[in-house]
Amino acid sequence: MKAIRLEEPGRLALLSTEPVSAKIGPDEALVRVRRIGVCGTDIHAFKGNQPFFSYPRILGHELGVEVVAVGSASQNVGLDDRCSVEPYLNCGICVACRRGKPNCCINLQVLGVHTDGGMRELLVVPSRKLHPSKTLTLDQLALIETLAIGCHAVDRARMEPGEFALVIGAGPIGLAVMQFALEAGAQVIVLDINPQRLEFCRTQFGVPYTVNAASENPLAALQSITAGELPTAVFDATGSPQSMAKAFEYPAHGGRLTFVGLFPGDLTFNDPNFHRRELMVLASRNARSEDFVRIIALIEAKRIDTAPWITHRASLTDVVSEFPLWAKPESGVIKAMIEL
């Protein structure tokens, strides 16, 4: 069985591994991996700056799969079903799981991060982590996890129709946040330093307002857009400590600041500035099963458009040579998709 493993920062290897055993547990399923989306987590791991990560590791947690075998107790999927994989393997018994927050389980194991992922031909997963669709393509199924990150972040912020929502960072996670903020009826503003990314947001996602922080004063631009009041919801999807610290300046009085990206370090902010506006600061980690179910239904109903997402493709055998190119900002990658 072929697999791609990240041996150490900057070095991927194509391996021939032992075949996956056909023996699966009653609550498990054996799936054939058909699509693998490459995300920021994979890029950060390749560059050596991904938290919660150890080497060597088989990457891959954005997966479109086909079911090959199901355990005797599995009821939600059947043979040949096409599914999206929810890659968050939670324990089910810790305080977070008991309170309906399995996405931040104390003992969480995320495929491709804490444990080997899906950048291989076959994979055994708990059947409850499979979300089938009879109509979505394999490409779309592999995009569900990325979209779920944005969906969960917008739900965390409790968006209201008509409010101004600022999304900082126009990478894949920022794009996912944008889509669900727009779906919630928000007036979306995107802040980035890449003019091509900002143009993409305007033309492909219909974002009404964009701010180029490389050529504009962000605070002044935001005040102009919002008639001086600033956005009531701010999302930082950069994973940049400088951007995250600066983000405290952007929410309106009584607003919310949601961190979707993260970095391996400490974050500081000015307390009086934070306190006088009574800001709410939130972390948004991963997503929940209901997010996957909701997103599949939204795409099936054509309320979420996935067409603009995939900009680059490669076969599994070409990943070792293509991946370093995808990791460079100048490559223009929005979403790279690996096909098996």
- Give pLDDT tens digits along the chain (340 positions): 899 999 999 999 999 877 776 689 999 999 999 999 999 889 989 998 877 788 999 999 999 999 999 999 988 999 999 999 999 999 999 999 999 999 999 999 999 999 999 999 999 999 999 999 999 999 999 999 999 999 999 999 999 999 999 999 999 999 999 999 999 999 999 999 999 999 999 999 999 999 999 999 999 999 999 999 999 999 999 999 999 999 999 999 999 999 999 888 899 999 999 999 999 999 999 999 999 999 999 999 999 999 999 999 999 999 999 999 999 888 889 999 999 9
CB-based contact 311:335 (threshold 8 Å): yes
What is the reported pTM? Answer: 0.93
> CATH 3.40.50.720 spans which residues of the chain?
150-283
pLDDT at position 21: 65
3-state secondary structure of 325: helix
DSSP 74: -
The fold of the 150-283 domain, in CATH, is Rossmann fold (3.40.50)
Q: What size, in residues, is the chain?
A: 340
Measure CA 314 to chain center.
Answer: 20
pLDDT at position 6: 96
For residue 91 the two structure tokens come to 């324990």
> CATH 3.90.180.10 spans which residues of the chain?
2-132+309-339
Antiparallel, parallel or unpaired: β 109-110 and 88-89: antiparallel
Q: How many CB atoms lie within 10 A of CB 110?
A: 20
CATH number of 2-132+309-339: 3.90.180.10
CA distance 316 to 326: 14
CA distance 188 to 140: 24
CB-based contact 207:308 (threshold 8 Å): no
CB-based contact 157:184 (threshold 8 Å): no
The C-alpha R_g of the chain, in whole angstroms, comes to 20
